[in-house]
Amino acid sequence: RKEVEQDPGPFNVPEGATVAFNCTYSNSASQSFFWYRQDCRKEPKLLMSVYSSGNEDGRFTAQLNRASQYISLLIRDSKLSDSATYLCVVSLTGGGNKLTFGTGTQLKVEL
C-alpha cells in the first residue's frame, strides 16, 4: 500500500464548478499535511498547509480527518488557471525534512 494515495484523475470540470479531491495516508504517526500544486513540467509549489481544524485560503478549503487518515481539498468557483496537478503531502515530523508525496490528482478546468 502506498504511504499517500490519491485518485490520479483527470478531473474535468467546467469553469465556475466546485471540485473536491481526497487523499489518504497510511502512517497514523504523520503530523503535518500539505497540498502542493504542480503545473505541467514545472516545480511543485506549496498551495496550503492543512490544519486539524480545517483552513481556508480564498477559494480553497483544506480539511484533515485524523481518525480516518484522509485529507481533502475543495476548490470553489474553479478558474481556468486552476488547471494543474495537486499533490497531497504528508510529513512524519513537525514539518519539512521527510515529506512523502502522493502521485497527484490532475485537474482540468474547461470553458
Partner 1 sequence: NAGVTQTPKFQVLKTGQSMTLQCAQDMNHNSMYWYRQDPGMGLRLIYYSASEGTTDKGEVPNGYNVSRLNKREFSLRLESAAPSQTSVYFCASSEQERGTQYFGPGTRLTVL
Q: Which residues contact 66 (CB under 8 A, 6 or more apart)?
A: 28, 52
Question: What amino acid is encoded at 84 in this protein?
Answer: A
CB 102 within 8 Å of CB 18: no
Stretch of 15-23, 52-60, 75-83, 91-99 lying at the interface with partner 1 (CB under 8 A): 91-99
Shortest distance (Å) from residue 33 CB to partner 1? 13
Chain CA centroid to CA 20, Å: 9
Please state whether beta strands 11-14 and 105-110 pair in parallel, antiparallel, or not at all (unpaired). Answer: parallel
Question: By CB under 8 A, which span of 12-20, 50-58, 75-83, 95-103 interacts with partner 1?
Answer: 95-103
- Our finding on whether 4 is near partner 1 (CB under 8 A) is yes
Q: Which of 12, 46, 51, 79 binds partner 1 (CB under 8 A)?
A: 46
Cβ(16)–Cβ(110) below 8 Å: no
Scanning 11-19, 22-30, 59-67, 97-105 for contacts with partner 1 by CB under 8 A, the matching segment is 97-105
Instruction: Work out whether 95 is an interface residue with partner 1 (CB under 8 A).
Output: yes
Closest by Cα among 55, 47, 1 to 24:
1
Residue 97 contacts partner 1 per CB under 8 A: yes
Binding site for partner 1 (CB under 8 A): 4, 32, 42-46, 49, 87, 93-104
